[in-house]
A and B are shown apart, each in its own frame.
Chain A
Amino acid sequence: MPAYVGLWCVAGLLAVAVAGLVVGRRPFGWAVVYGASLLASVVGLATASWHLLVGSAPATLNLALGLPGIGASFRLDSLTAFFLIVSNLGGATASLYALGYGRHENSPLRVLPYFPAYLAGMNLVLLADDAFSFLVAWEFMSLSSWALVMANHNAPENARAGYIYLIMATLGTLTLLLAFGVLAGPEGNYAFASIRAHQPDTLAAALVLALVLLGAGSKAGLVPLHVWLPLAHPAAPSHVSALMSGVMTKIAVYGFVRIVFDLLGDPVWWSSLIVLAVAGATTVMGVLYALMQHDLKRLLAYHTVENIGIIFIGLGLSLAFRASDMGLPAALALTAALFHVFNHSIFKSLLFFGSGAVLQATGERNMEHLGGLIHRMPRTAIAFLTGCAAISALPPLNGFVSEWLTFQAILVGPELPQWGLRFMIPTIGALLALSAALAAACFVKAYGVVFLGRPRTPAAGGAQEVDQFSLTAMFFLAALCLVAGVLPGPVIDLIAPAVQDMVGARMSPQAFLPWASIVPIAESRSSYNGLIILMFLAASGTLIAMFIHRCATRATRRGEIWDCGYPDPSPATQYTSSSFAMPIRRVFGTTVFLVREKIVMPRPGDTRAAQFHVKVVDPAWRYVYGPAARGVLRAAGVLNQLQFLTIRRYLTLVFSTLVILLLVVAAWR
């Protein structure tokens, strides 16, 4: 029954997409499209939550669509239901936000039809139960999001972003296609049920893992496949950016979990080593790169890379424990990863909504042109601050809980028998600790430069608070950040059925522990209680405030800025985003990003302005994509000669190819 409802939601969204074509230019067209999308997402959310809460059995459904003889099968199990919650929560809040934000769209026909189609594509990926419909849905999701990235196609950087995105998406789908080919084996049965039934040999499993890491990793943004992400995510309208960063990367995580945990069968221990190595690099590179940005949306997009790294650390740990038949730690690590999936989808959507609000109010994405918005957009400022604190893993908010769970899983590491993992896991722990601290620095910078200080341009000085719909969406997500951080037990229990299905074990029920604390393994080992921490913080904060107000003088005077006695009225004397990041750039940048700083100081008497240039190079471009692009060009140059052959030579070529292939087949048999 719920699978039907899920598919009806998808069908409804597709209908809305068609309707978007019709009503796009009408007045209130946006309201119709986003309102209907909101409704469909809420229904999807309710269905998925109901499925998880009731704990019903997996529901399957076979439709006579797609390839003849195979059809398209769909299935709603606990993993799908959990990710449906993530995707539909994101879809619902993005639609709500867009009810306000979307009215300012310049070319509605470039957004309105694709937005519901994109939501439908993401839901369809989650529901698919055979390789064919999975890949079709995956490609549908990629293409509709590509159309949204190209919504503002006149900007040259957007066109470039769209081009790179298209290449990376194609590559991803291609590798996933190959992965399913290997999984299906010579019988070619593409239904997930029959793939699940037979265990591939070690070589095939390794191949599938590598292909899935490429395919799902390119969509999720694993280093070095992340390069498209900070270009494409900011290019789209902000509510779509939120979906791309907050939800679509999670769909990629779903693809990885579905294939590697569910379809591939029992893992070998070194597969986790590969996943952990990639995840560790992704985490630190992502946050360091985010720190170097001065475009707010691009900073957020790079930060998604970091969070994907944290999620994959959890997944890698889970694989490691599962390979050694340690059920409970495997469940703990997977719970941590899925909890972070949930958390990141919430606060990254919130932060992208906030950046959209800033963009709408000021027309600026460049942080160096903003400042002081806390006075002009006070409500947005509160919601954005909550998101910043949550993503920086500060208690009592939700980001801390999932990182804490990951740390707890890391501390079980010494019980693993493999030496490779015993060396890898502490390294990962150190990298995770480093990235958590750097994330806090990154968001102090983002918030401090955009919302605090004095406005750096007239646009920032004249900003207005955004509409009620946008604010409602942001405050809803901010409240969720707090609730999931203070009451993590119910969230863990919501994840537990999916974890049970994937690793065959689950964390003990957490929702009804006394005082709403969470106990990952045993009470003697570790426990955390967000509620008590919040109460403690509130109590001690109130106590000290009361004491101060009772015993201290309340005399307050507004005066000039002190600044050591030399205040300068020019807002240019404030710290900027580049200057804030400078110490960290000095510490990490020269080795990691090959940062080059150049100062042009005119001679005395010369009236030209002094200049300061910073060049930051993403090593992925220099060491992976640059050589790859040059290789492709060179190969194309060589192969170009094939276009100018005579007919005799073409015939010879065709004939010899045939002979070679026949020989290969003969040798194979």
Chain B
Amino acid sequence: MALIVEFITDLVAQGLQMFLVLAVAPLVLGVTRKVKARLLRRIGAPVWQPYIDLWKLMHKEAVLAHNASWLYRVAPYLAFAATWVAAALVPTYATGLMFSWSADLIAIVALLATGRFALALAGMDVGTAFGGIGASREMMIASLAEPAMLLVVFSVALIAGTTQLSSIAAAFATASIGLRVSLGLAMFAFVFVAIAENARIPIDNPATHLELTMVHEAMVLEYSGRHLAVIEAAAALKLVLYFSLLACLFLPFGMATVDKSFDAQAFGVVTYLGKIFALAVLLPIGETAVAKMRVFRYPIFLGGAFAAGALAVFLLFVSRGF
């Protein structure tokens, strides 16, 4: 009986975290847009505008090109599912997720790659120059960002002695890991990767349209209606996923780890939301401070992340003490 109760509470906790990230994702996006608007001396749309946008898109007719294949219609759902599953495996307010053992941090990175693969193919489906340019550049950025991300994964895994994200978070939140050179380097690399993967300035500009500088937006240019709504939701989810990862790897305080009482969990939720929205405020501040880069300067930016990640891993291979 107690076992069943535990099973159900675990399932509820898992489901709650899954839907929490989904529910909060558009709001986080709204906050970043609002802050950015204020920094640019605009009033900006209300913070819940992304919800309204999604609702509007869902009720618009979807226009497909004559030669769009089934892949074009399936890809948004696949990308969303992959991102959502990855997000569900990242601990938010409490560690010890029910299904955390089914995929570790490496698998989470690979799941995001699955989503990207689907969208890049969809970008090529109709056969336009914009779709091609977006897909090509997205894959180029990914081919530079993914190895840097995996090096970050290696360094945190070597410190915690596990690649299981829940265990890493628990180790970082409870054990005295302290300030480490390798963790600092890994965080530096992670932030760079997160900026690139979420198509933010200086890599990509989520606000542009009709410009050759855009990458992600060019790739999904042909989408409209409900398909676009799903893609936008997936993008928002991905941003929250990276915020959650940053929070649980490098700012793990406040998470409910050992103590699973209601108070601890409530405190966990509050600190989690605090961290996420703090990051949502910091991101546009950083974005307004720098200019968008030329495409062929990306390797320098992401090469920096790769070098920092590699240095962190090298230090840890030399000694676990770094």
Contact = CB atoms under 8 A, between A and B. Distances in A.
Given A411-B154, A441-B139, A562 B222 contact: yes
A440 B58 contact: no
Given A454-B67, A557-B63, A558-B66, A434 B128 contact: no
A527 B102 contact: yes
A437 B142 contact: yes
B262 interface: no
Given A422-B317, A580-B136, A536 B102 contact: yes
Contact of A430 (B99, B147, B229): B147
Given A558-B65, A573-B128, A433 B150 contact: yes
Contacts of A438: 143
B163 interface: yes
A587 B167 contact: no
Given A528-B104, A544-B80, A444 B114 contact: no
Contact of B127 (A371, A422, A524): A371
Contact of A408 (B65, B71, B163): B163
A375 B125 CA distance: 11
Contact of A533 (B85, B143, B225, B318): B85
Interface of A: 371-372, 374-375, 385, 389, 392-395, 400, 404, 407-408, 410-411, 413-414, 422-423, 425-427, 429-430, 433-434, 436-438, 440-441, 444-445, 447-449, 452-454, 515, 517, 523-529, 532-533, 536-538, 540-541, 544-545, 548, 551-553, 555-564, 567-568, 571, 573-575, 579-584, 586-587
Contacts of A395: 103, 107, 110-111, 114
B187 interface: no
21 contacts: A404-B107, A413-B317, A426-B314, A440-B139, A448-B123, A453-B125, A525-B164, A526-B104, A529-B102, A532-B102, A540-B80, A548-B77, A548-B226, A556-B61, A556-B63, A562-B63, A563-B130, A564-B130, A573-B128, A583-B136, A584-B143
B127 A571 contact: yes
B232 interface: no
**10 nearest A-B residue pairs (beta carbon):** A575-B132, A448-B124, A453-B127, A552-B58, A541-B81, A532-B102, A437-B146, A441-B139, A433-B147, A433-B150
Interface of B: 58-71, 77-78, 80-82, 84-85, 88, 99, 101-104, 106-107, 110-111, 113-114, 116-117, 120-121, 123-133, 135-137, 139-140, 142-147, 150-151, 154, 157-158, 161-164, 167, 210, 221-222, 224-226, 229-230, 295-296, 299, 306, 309-310, 313-314, 316-318, 320
Given A444-B139, A448-B132, 4 more contacts: A453-B124, A525-B161, A525-B164, A533-B107
B101 A527 contact: yes
A438 to B, nearest CB: 5
B227 to A, nearest CB: 9
A583 to B, nearest CB: 4
Contacts of A555: 61-62, 225
Contacts, number: 279
B58 A551 contact: yes
A667 to B, nearest CB: 48
B135 A559 contact: no
Contact of B126 (A423, A427, A441, A561): A561
Given A423-B317, A563-B221, A553 B60 contact: yes
A414 B320 contact: yes
A556 B62 contact: yes
**B interface, by DSSP: helix, strand, loop or mixed?**
helix
Contact of B62 (A413, A452, A557, A563): A557
Nearest to A287: B143
B117 A392 contact: yes
A517 B101 contact: yes
B313 A444 contact: no
A553 B317 contact: no
A662 to B, nearest CB: 55
B138 to A, nearest CB: 9
B214 to A, nearest CB: 11
B296 A586 contact: yes
Contacts of A425: 317
Contacts of A568: 129
Given A407-B106, A536-B88, A553 B59 contact: yes
Contacts of B147: 430, 433-434, 436-437
A304 B59 CA distance: 47
- Residue from B101, B104, B310 whose CB has the most chain A CB atoms within 10 Å: B101
Contact of A529 (B60, B61, B77, B101): B101
Nearest to B303: A587
Contacts of A433: 146-147, 150-151
Contact of A563 (B61, B129, B316): B129
Nearest to B100: A527
B77 A544 contact: yes
Contact of A544 (B84, B150, B314): B84
Contacts of B121: 385, 444, 447-448, 452
Nearest to B83: A540
A411 B163 contact: yes
A426 B310 CA distance: 8
B136 to A, nearest CB: 5
A525 B157 CA distance: 9
B124 to A, nearest CB: 3
Contacts of B126: 453, 561
Given A430-B310, A441-B140, A452-B71, A552 B226 contact: yes
B296 A557 contact: no
A561 B128 contact: yes
A548 B229 contact: yes
A115 B146 CA distance: 42
A426 B104 contact: no
B52 to A, nearest CB: 14
B298 to A, nearest CB: 8
A537 B85 contact: yes
A36 B52 CA distance: 65
Nearest to B136: A580
Nearest to A556: B62
B71 A533 contact: no
B151 A562 contact: no
A557 B60 CA distance: 11
Nearest to B211: A564
A413 B317 CA distance: 7
A423 B99 CA distance: 35
Contacts of A408: 163
A411 B317 CA distance: 9
A526 B146 CA distance: 20
Contacts of B110: 393-395, 400, 404
Contact of B129 (A440, A545, A574): A574
A533 B132 contact: no
A575 B139 CA distance: 14
A444 B138 CA distance: 11
A528 B142 contact: no
A434 B143 contact: yes
B317 A389 contact: no
A584 B138 CA distance: 11
Contacts of B65: 558-562
Contacts of B230: 544, 548
Contacts of B69: 374-375, 452
B316 A414 contact: yes
B129 A540 contact: no
B143 A553 contact: no
Contacts of B101: 517, 523, 527, 529
